Homo-oligomer: A and B are copies of this chain.
Amino acid sequence: MASDKYRSIEDAIARVKPGSRIMVGSFGLAGYPEELIEALAASGTGDLTIISNDLGTPGVGLGKLLTNNQIRSLIGTYYNWNPEVAGANNEGRITVKLIPQGTFAEAIRAAGVGIPAFFTPTGAGTDLAAGKETREFAGRACVLEESIHADVALIKAYKADELGNLVYYKTARNFNPVMAMAADTVIAEVEEIVPVGSLDPESIVTPHIYVDVLTMRKS
């Protein structure tokens, strides 16, 4: 492997410390860093805040982390696919912060691009805007939403070049590119690492400046 960013899955996941805020790219089971999550589950690292759209299904993918009691709190949009989340929340075992999906994506991007907060019409007047500043713009009520940042982002990309430039595959792209900008340490699980210059400079989605560690999927 000619990339200085390449690490084994185990070395990479060792960067996740107990109590960290971890972003994980995914929408359902599309575009999630499967081997990194398996390794995180195997590590037993706990007290985590997981920032992700959903939490897979019970015992599968990100769902394993909840089944394993590694999660203290969740920040995300949709846990209907994993009823263990509502259960753990109702029992007070975890805290859950629900955010509208578009606001969630935009707030993560905002952290990546240095925007601390923005106004959005989404959610105005609903329970999810409770306690948030609301202000009218052009006659429309808008909610002030703050950016969402993480200690570590675990993302899934299709190909990396040796520098760490990334491209994605179909709807597995989802939250991965915005999360790649919004964490102190960004670890990307990829299917292939290609020589520098193999990716079209016009089509690179995540520039290498954002990527700290590359791991490669074994299967």
Contact = CB atoms under 8 A, between A and B. Distances in A.
Contacts of A118: 110, 115, 117-119
Interface in A109-123: 110, 113-121
Nearest to A205: B202
A117 B119 contact: yes
**Copies of this chain in the oligomer:** 2
Interface stretch (A16-24, A77-85, A87-95, A136-144): A136-144
Interface residues of A, number: 23
A167 B117 contact: no
Contacts of A138: 116
A69 to B, nearest CB: 31
Interface of A: 106, 110, 113-121, 137-138, 140, 142, 146, 167-170, 200, 202-203
15 contacts: A110-B118, A114-B120, A115-B118, A115-B119, A115-B120, A116-B120, A116-B142, A117-B118, A117-B119, A117-B142, A118-B118, A118-B119, A168-B202, A170-B202, A202-B203
